[in-house]
Amino acid sequence: MPPDQLTAAIDTILDVHLKLCAAGWIACDFYDGAIIYDFAARRAWLIDLDSYHLGSFTNEMGRTFGSTRFMAPEEFERGALIDQRTTVFTLGRAISVFLGDGDLNRAEFRGTETQYVAMTTA
């Protein structure tokens, strides 16, 4: 997908998460499989958000559910706090996967400089 279409899809994902955050929901088990993209309409849809948690909580599992490409460090640590910082980390990882090669390599990142700085300083 061209970067402008990816950016629009990312904007949708971020907008949804801002609303969820405002309502107190923490992202859990968010990964690329939770996104359906309608190429004809150029629109992203989020699905499968049933693992999201209302409010911060303690990781009682150790490794939680989800794709390791999108998971925050605390999602692997039993007793760790899962909160909105976890959501921010997860969304940053999503941006790095969608606009780059999944790491913080600037040469592979197809987004804007502003997006890259936001992703690497969050």
Rounded mean pLDDT, 11-15: 94
Show the domain range for 103: 3-117
**Residue 122 clears pLDDT 80, i.e. is over it:** no
Tally of structural domains, the chain = 1
Confidence of residue 104 (pLDDT cuts 50, 70, 90): confident
Alpha helices (runs of H) in 23-55, residue ranges in sequence order: none
**CATH code, domain carrying 55:** 1.10.510.10
Q: Which helix (H) or strand (E) holds 97?
A: helix 84-99
Does residue 122 lie in a domain region?
A: no
pTM score? 0.87
Confidence of residue 116 (pLDDT cuts 50, 70, 90): confident
